[in-house]
């Protein structure tokens, strides 16, 4: 076929060889040649309920037949968006929360930063523009999300970033305190993933997230938890905030809200932020996307949330994560990998120095498992919450064998 017209994300523009995925069921996907793979990363950290769910397809079709879409700017709404926001607010760890909708995690992060700044400005603190993030971290690819992202390689060649974003090393509370000491009155928000995901899978040091909360309280800044990966079950709770016992002001989400059946993201906005908007009764939130509250995407999300609840999949995350972690730790014990890190149902192995994570990924593919390399030394696992015990063991065996062959 020659060079494909599809210019792929996060790929070399010259790449010509791709694996065509054409079908999926549960934690398995199939390529066009009929090869089956265990989807050890829930596609791209999102397919929590597994592939091939007829309930979601039916809900989407039913919504499409009634009304495919209508916008929600100013005066308009639709029942699916209203119901979804009601359900998300109901499981979020904030009082009287409301929910802003987007189509992706990057847009959710941009929205959270804008809402954080606008709330301060409306309450009379328009100088509060600084966002404290950390390194490593992944918050997306739009200019807001990219500026917040703590991965310099992702920012290279894209020119100037959103100003006023300061990065501190992950888990270093003293560094965050130092930024507050210097910029206190200018800080709008701190943003952090409960577990750093796409930037390497690092659970927080005990006390780190609650330390961020305390600093935000002391200096009057908002705490944004970016739960694009950790939301909707990954850590055995609706949100990682609940698992780690931290109260955020804003939560960004995407991915697991629909398990990827349609694109949808958003921001849970807590009562303190909402109260700030009340300072100016005529304030208009001049922010929104064409597809904010898209009814068909919301219908997919509602069906997905029903599956998570009915099949108790959130409750399943810790035990499946434990089986995965136990298997990976046995590889560490025999020296096959350098370290094992993670929490809930998101884990990674660190490879020994000199390893090539892409080669390990390729060797795993030939053993029928799709995992994700991060940098040169990490292989990440974030399986669908419906993965079977046998499939978990297959993932562990595949990475164990792959590190031998890729050596």
Closer residue to ligand PLP, CB minimum distance, 53 or 134: 134
Spell out, one character per residue from 111 to 150, where the chain touches ligand PLP: x when CB under 6 A holds, - when not: ---------------------------xxx----x-----
Q: Name the segment binding ligand PLP (CB under 6 A); options: 29-37, 104-112, 289-297, 330-338.
A: 104-112
Write out the binding residues for ligand PLP, residues 203-232 only, by CB under 6 A.
226, 228-229
Q: 368 near 398, Cβ under 8 Å?
A: yes
Q: What is the CA radius of gyration of the chain?
A: 21
Q: Name the segment binding ligand PLP (CB under 6 A); options: 82-90, 102-110, 290-298, 362-370.
A: 102-110
Cβ 345 to ligand PLP shortest distance, Å: 15
Point out the residue whose Cβ comes nearest to ligand PLP.
105
250 touching ligand PLP, by CB under 6 A: no
Closer residue to ligand PLP, CB minimum distance, 193 or 249: 193
Cβ 303 to ligand PLP shortest distance, Å: 20
| Cα-based angle 72, 239, 189 (whole degrees, multiple of 5) | 70
Closer residue to ligand PLP, CB minimum distance, 11 or 23: 11
Q: How many CB atoms lie within 10 A of CB 139?
A: 34
Cβ 214 to ligand PLP shortest distance, Å: 23
Write out the binding residues for ligand PLP, residues 179-208 only, by CB under 6 A.
193, 197-198
The rounded distance, in Å, linking the Cα atoms of 75 and 95 is 25
Q: Name the segment binding ligand PLP (CB under 6 A); options: 103-111, 215-223, 240-248, 344-352.
A: 103-111
Cβ 89 to ligand PLP shortest distance, Å: 20
Q: Out of 24, 50, 105, 204, which residue is the one contacting ligand PLP (CB under 6 A)?
A: 105
Write out the binding residues for ligand PLP, residues 17-56 only, by CB under 6 A.
45
Cβ 171 to ligand PLP shortest distance, Å: 17
254 touching ligand PLP, by CB under 6 A: yes
Contact residues toward ligand PLP (CB under 6 A) are 45, 104-106, 109, 138-140, 145, 193, 197-198, 226, 228-229, 254, 265
């Amino acid at each position: 076929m020659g060079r494909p017209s599809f210019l792929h994300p996060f790929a070399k523009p010259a790449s010509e060889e791709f694996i065509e995925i054409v079908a999926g069921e549960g934690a398995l996907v199939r390529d066009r040649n009929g090869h089956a793979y265990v989807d050890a990363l829930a596609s791209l950290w999102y397919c929590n309920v597994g592939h091939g769910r007829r309930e979601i397809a039916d809900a989407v079709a039913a919504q499409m037949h009634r009304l495919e879409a209508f916008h929600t700017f100013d005066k308009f709404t639709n029942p699916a968006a209203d119901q979804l926001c009601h359900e998300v607010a109901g499981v979020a760890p904030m009082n009287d929360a409301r929910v802003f909708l987007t189509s992706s995690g990057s847009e959710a992060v941009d929205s959270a930063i804008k809402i954080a700044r606008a709330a301060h400005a409306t309450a009379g603190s328009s100088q509060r523009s600084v966002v404290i993030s950390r390194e490593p971290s992944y918050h997306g690819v739009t200019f807001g999300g990219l500026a917040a992202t703590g991965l310099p390689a992702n920012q290279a060649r894209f020119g100037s970033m959103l100003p006023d974003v300061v990065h501190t090393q992950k888990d270093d509370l003293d560094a965050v305190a130092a930024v507050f000491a210097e910029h206190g009155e200018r800080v709008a928000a701190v943003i952090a993933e409960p577990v750093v995901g796409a930037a390497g899978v690092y659970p927080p040091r005990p006390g780190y997230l609650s330390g961020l909360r305390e600093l935000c309280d002391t200096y009057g800044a908002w705490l944004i938890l970016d739960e694009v990966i950790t939301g909707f079950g990954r850590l055995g709770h609706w949100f990682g905030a609940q698992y780690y016992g931290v109260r955020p002001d804003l939560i960004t989400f995407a991915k697991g809200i629909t398990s990827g059946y349609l694109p949808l993201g958003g921001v849970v906005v807590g009562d303190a932020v909402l109260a700030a908007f009340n300072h100016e009764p005529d304030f208009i939130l001049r922010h929104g996307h064409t597809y904010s509250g898209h009814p068909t995407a919301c219908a997919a999300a509602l069906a997905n949330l029903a599956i998570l609840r009915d099949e108790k999949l959130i409750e399943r995350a810790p035990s499946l994560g434990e089986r995965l972690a136990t298997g990976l730790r046995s590889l560490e014990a025999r020296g096959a990998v350098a370290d094992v890190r993670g929490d809930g149902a998101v884990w990674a192995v660190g490879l020994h120095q000199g390893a090539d994570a892409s080669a390990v990924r390729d060797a795993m593919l030939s053993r029928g498992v799709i995992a994700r390399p991060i940098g040169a030394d990490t292989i990440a696992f974030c399986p669908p919450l419906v993965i079977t015990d046998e499939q978990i063991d297959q993932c562990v065996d595949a990475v164990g064998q792959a590190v031998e062959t890729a050596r």
